Amino acid sequence: MARIRARGIEYRSTPHGPVDMAINTQQGGRIVYWNEPDGHVWEALTESYARQPQKRTEDDA
């Protein structure tokens, strides 16, 4: 985030929403999105929302 802010890049909390300069924390981590000049949408996240950690069971011990 420090590098994004230092470069003055406008970011948002949703992939295609308005620029709100907010960080999304709904997935248990932090996620931000921004556009490159060519139109590509980029994402930076601190916690994977695609692969949730597996819960350990007594059999795993």
Q: Do 20 and 2 meet the contact criterion of CB atoms below 8 Å apart?
A: no
For the chain, the domains span 1-52
Encoded tokens for 23: 């960080």
Q: Do 49 and 33 meet the contact criterion of CB atoms below 8 Å apart?
A: no
Global pTM value: 0.74
Q: Residues with Cβ < 8 Å from 16, sequence gap 6 or more?
A: 41
Give the rounded percent of residues in the chain with a pLDDT score beyond 70: 84
Report residue 30: phi and psi, to 5°.
-130, 135
pLDDT tens per residue, range 21-46: 999 998 788 999 999 999 899 999 99
pLDDT at residue 24, as a whole number: 94
pLDDT, averaged across the chain: 87
- Statement: residue 13 has pLDDT above 70: yes
Q: Do 13 and 23 meet the contact criterion of CB atoms below 8 Å apart?
A: yes
